Structure formats: C-alpha cells, structure tokens
A and B are shown apart, each in its own frame.
Chain A
Amino acid sequence: MDNHFESGLDSLRHKLLLMASHTETAVNQAVQALMQRDYDLALRVKADDDVIDRCEVEIDELAIQLLTKAPLATNLRLVTVAMKISQDLERIGDEASKIAKRARDLSQEPPVKIQLDLPLMAARALAMLKAALDAFVQHAPAAAREVIPCDKQVDALNKQIHAALVQHMVENPDAISRCLHWMVAAKSLERIADHATNIAEDVVFLWEAQDIRHTGIKNQGVAPTKPV
C-alpha cells in the first residue's frame, strides 16, 4: 500500500522538475529573443506559457490527492512545499512571458544604442533558480541557503540598469518608449530572482523544517548550529 503513496510522491517530484525545466527554458528563450530581437521566438515563448500553467494545475491536483492520505513529517513538508514551488515557477513563467512580450515589441522597432548588463542579470537569475532546484533534488539545504544573498546582487544590477536607462531617456527622449520596454524586462528578471529566492527558502524548509522567510537578510546565509 505504501508503494502507491511513495510512487505518488515520486510523481510529484518528477512533475515539479519537469515544470522547472520548462520554466528555465522559457526564461532562457525570452532573454534570447530580447537580446537577438527574435520576433518568432518571442511569440513561441508566450504560447508555451500554457504548458507551464497546466503543470501548476496538475501539481496542485496531485498534491491535494496526496494530502487526503494524511502524509506526515518529511512527506507532509514535501507536499506543501511542492505546491508553493509550483506557484513560484508559474509566476516565473509569467515573468518570462512578459519579457517575451517586450522582446516582441522591441524587435519591431530600431534598436536602442545602449550597453546593458541584462544578459549578466539573466544569467545570475537563472543560476539562482538552478541552484535552488538542485538543492531540492539533492537534499542540500546549505546550497539553498547560499542562493538567498545572491538576490542582493540581482537587485543591484537592476538598479544599475534602471539608472542607465533613465540617463539614456533623459538624453534621448525619442527612445523613451523603447527604454521603458527594457526597464520592464529588467524588472521581470528581478522578480524572477525573487521567486528563485522564495524557492530556495521553501527548499530549506523542506530539508531542515526551518521557516526562514521574512527573517533579517543577515541571518539567511548561515544555517543555525543546532536545529531546534
């Protein structure tokens, strides 16, 4: 009898990782469409968001079904965390969609003459997401904890890009609407990093039964010496 339950949990993990891979692909492709002014890729990303949305629904349904079996301890934490992670992944997918929308619009207009560290920001955000998901799979809460301070770096990059764009808009008023698209794209990447942070906090909860959300930033990088 427990085999059915265990296989249900395995299925849940599997679906979550599948959803995660779709999400990572979506972000990658959205940034690529943005940087390479690829109209068709941008449209594809927007269309593929449906897949991500359906994954969230499936995961929630499976989680609720598993909850009726009253799981306990690690299993209970796994099921509740899976629901949260799927929600965060879905939001990341939405942000990727937004980036794709801006990429679509920008590709129809002449490029803006400005150097932006957007690819770096994207790489950082994606690295955070990957690290959080790896920590989920590999039972590595310490690795998850290390993701959290990275959010600061992404925020800093966003500020930089924001400032650079503002400067450019002041100097080139005709580029304002295009710059605004870029700002929105950068903001979306910043939000993606926030969601990756959330996922990392959830992974810490899963493996350590410690809820580290909303505590001071300074406490989040280090695990406590004795689990309570």
Chain B
Amino acid sequence: MPTDSTSTLTPALTARDLAVFFGSHQVLKNVSIDIAAKAVTAIIGPSGCGKSTFLRSLNRMHELVPEARMTGDIRLFGDDIYERNVEPVIVRRRVGMVFQKSNPFPTMSIAENVTVGLRLNGLRDKKLLTERTEQSLQMAALWDEVKDRLHAPAISLSGGQQQRLCIARALAVQPEVLLMDEPASALDPLATQKIEDLIIELKKDYTIVIVTHNMQQAARVSDFTAFFYLGELVEFGPTKKIFTNPSQKRTEDYVTGRFG
C-alpha cells in the first residue's frame, strides 16, 4: 500500500527526456511524462512504437535485454530509480509488473505463488504470510474461487484465473505502482471484463500503468492516455479528451483507425 503521506497530486512516476537504446538502435526518444498517482494511465500506439519498452523502463526490466541503455531521468514519488547505488531489485519491489501471458510458477501451489515474492525476499512469519495471501487474493477478486483449494497446483486454474493469480502475486509484495503489459490480450471476453473491473477497483489504492493495443479497453478503464508513435510520446492527456477530441493529428488518425 502506498504510504498515507502520498498526496494524489504528486505524480507517481515522472520521466524526463527518457531515451532508450538497444545497442545502436534508439527505441524511445525524448519521452517526458507525469504519471498520476492512484489513477490508471493507458499507453496506446501501433506495434513497435516503444510502448512496452517504456513500460519496462519504469521498473528497470528493459535492462534484461543485452546492450540496453537509457539516458534521462525517471523518478518514483521523487526517488531517482536509476541512481547509481539503487539496485533494480529494490525498484521492482516498489513497482510491480503483470505480463501478457500469465505465468504462475508451475512447481508451486496457489498459495505458494501468491507469497513467493515475500518468501524469497526473506519473510518467514507464517501468520503474516497467510494474512497476506488472503488479502492479495481478495484484492485480485480470486479469493472466493480458490479459498478451498489454496494448495492445489497453480496451473490447475483457468487462463483468466491464472492471470488474476499473477496480479495477486504482484500485489502481495505491496508495490506502490502496478505495471500491466497487455494483461487481458490472451483472455476471452468474459475474463477480460473481470480483469478490467479489477483494474478499476485497484486504482483506488494503486497507481496503474497499462499497455494495451485495444483502444476500447483504454477508453473503458483509464483516466489518462498516452499515445506513442515511432518511439515518441505524441500526445498525453485525459482519456476523454484523447478519444473524443485529440489535439494531434497523428493521434486522431490512429484513434479513428486510419493507420495502425
């Protein structure tokens, strides 16, 4: 949970002049943006526009690609996450991530999956772990469906349930920000709707940044939308404005389906 002293007026994440290179190839150019706290920000744009790279730069996951480097500044509630003595591991405990393809660990049960982030970071208190398991599964709207089989293997769940389990797993670590990379694109419409309802619930307590290629989804769940194209942030603003009256022609063309 974010600390109570966090004002919703302080942006959760700020990027200034962010540029990301993979080797000599520049994937993101000059991105400056303020991500509002306790709100949902959607990142949209055609394939290859850099939106996933941008998302991953927010929790330093882009560093997993060899020869990745970045310039610029990213701050999480004021803290520079790329400062020299900041370990990526610490950043990732404050900024969680859920992926497109749900990936619950196959050798672990449902409960073990939820608490893996805590246990492998040293937490041993059984009582606390049990509490956190129920809490996280409740927040992920999965508790009622699995409370009687917490020790069943995680992979016995359906696709939509697995994704919600991954969300619970990410929430158990109590991050301040949750990043979601096309979380519902591999799910059927009903499961997608559950995830979207969940996102709208979660934003009461968490800052959420979601990459999606589905503009209607962005319109349904997000408060702010950022449109990326060819590595640049073309337009950023309240979702209503972006989808009813964007300022930039490129945004208008993308949103009305003229390209992308």
Q: Which A residues fall within an 8 A CB radius of B?
A: 2, 5, 70-77, 209
- Interface membership of chain B positions 221-260, coded 1 if the CB is closer than 8 angstroms to chain A and 0 otherwise: 0000000000000000000000111100001100111100
B198 interfacial contact with A, CB 8 Å: no
Bound complex: CA of A71 vs CA of B255, how far in Å? 9
Q: Are A74 and B216 in contact (CB under 8 A)?
A: no
B108 interfacial contact with A, CB 8 Å: no
Task: Classify the secondary structure of A's interface with B.
Answer: helix
Q: Are A72 and B255 in contact (CB under 8 A)?
A: yes
Residues of A within 8 A of B245 (CB): 73, 77, 209
Q: Are B257 and A2 in contact (CB under 8 A)?
A: yes
Q: Are B256 and A70 in contact (CB under 8 A)?
A: no
Q: Are B216 and A73 in contact (CB under 8 A)?
A: no
Least CB distance, B168 to chain A, in whole angstroms: 31
Chain B, residue nearest A77 (CB): B244
Q: Are B244 and A75 in contact (CB under 8 A)?
A: no
20 interchain pairs, CB-CB under 8 A: A2-B257, A5-B257, A71-B256, A72-B215, A72-B219, A72-B243, A72-B244, A72-B255, A72-B256, A73-B243, A73-B245, A73-B251, A73-B252, A73-B255, A75-B256, A76-B243, A77-B244, A77-B245, A209-B244, A209-B245
- Decide: A70 near B252, CB < 8 A? Known: A5-B257, A209-B244: no
Chain B, residue nearest A69 (CB): B257
Residues of B within 8 A of A75 (CB): 256
Least CB distance, A105 to chain B, in whole angstroms: 48
- Interface membership of chain B positions 129-146, coded 1 if the CB is closer than 8 angstroms to chain A and 0 otherwise: 000000000000000000
Bound complex: CA of A75 vs CA of B255, how far in Å? 10
Bound complex: CA of A209 vs CA of B252, how far in Å? 13
Chain B, residue nearest A9 (CB): B256
Bound complex: CA of A77 vs CA of B256, how far in Å? 11
Q: Are A73 and B244 in contact (CB under 8 A)?
A: yes
Q: Are B257 and A76 in contact (CB under 8 A)?
A: no
B244, B251, B258: the one within 8 Å of A76 (CB): B244
Chain B, residue nearest A5 (CB): B257
Bound complex: CA of A71 vs CA of B215, how far in Å? 10
Bound complex: CA of A175 vs CA of B100, how far in Å? 81
